Amino acid sequence: MNNGSQIYNAYPSAGALADSRQRVLRNTYWLLALSMIPTVLGAWVGVSTGIMAMMGNGLSLILFLAGAFGFMYAIEKTKESSTGVVVLLGFTFFMGLMLSRMLAMVLGFSNGSSLIMMAFGGTAGVFVAMASLASVIKRDLSNLNKFLFVGVILLLVAMVINMFVQSSAMMITLSVLAIGIFSAFLLVDIKRIIDGGETNYISATLAIYLDVYNIFQNLLALLGIFGGERD
């Protein structure tokens, strides 16, 4: 009887598992909200100094790839400690800085501030919709990851090509596809936390932050193309 109790106690109860998943989800949402502060700060620094506008497309791409992958590697190495939070927030500052070039272009429109707020509202709407959907879907969505990953790789290759081709039609198409792909990624990433597939809230925040960032960036690009007004 005693051995049976020991075996039973070795496994967490369903309630304990549910509490653990809710805690990871709650901490992820809190850290995601906190990450918006350095993102905005980085964007403000970039727009104010114009540092990103001084760089050519090639140099800015190299800086982005080196910085992004460097930070993500550091986050992965430190995610089990409080240092991971600091590194993640540093990464979000960097991403805000990278976004400043597009923000400066949009702010060049007479309705630029309104377009940014619309992009923010649209991104928030997508987030709420995907989070709500993830909470009611019962099936496992992890098998979608490999297809979405292939989609992202093809998307990146096409975007690099378009940096040299400079096709507006291609840019619009890629932005629409990016919004769709990263919205699907957002659904999968939130569902993975709910299902207990992700137990580290720093890793979870990084994944969701990248989804949200890409949705916002591409939505803002579309709004700038179709809704931008000159004085």
The string of pLDDT tens digits covering residues 186-218 is 999 999 999 988 899 999 999 999 999 999 999
Whether the CB-CB separation of 46 and 104 falls below 8 Å is answered with yes
Q: How many CB atoms lie within 10 A of CB 142?
A: 12
Which CA distances in Å does 193 have to 18, 50, 159? 11, 38, 30
| The predicted structure's pLDDT at residue 20 | 83
Q: What is the pLDDT of residue 120?
A: 95
pTM above 0.85, yes or no: yes
Quote the pLDDT of residue 45. 95
3-state secondary structure of 167: coil
Residues of the chain with pLDDT under 50: 1, 5, 7-8, 10
Please, which residues have CB within 8 angstroms of residue 75's CB and are 6 or more apart in sequence?
84, 87, 88, 91, 202, 203, 206
Q: From residue 178, give the alpha-carbon distance in Å to each of 18, 69, 192.
A: 33, 19, 21
Would you tell me how many other CB atoms lie within 10 Å of the CB of residue 171? 19
pLDDT at position 1: 47
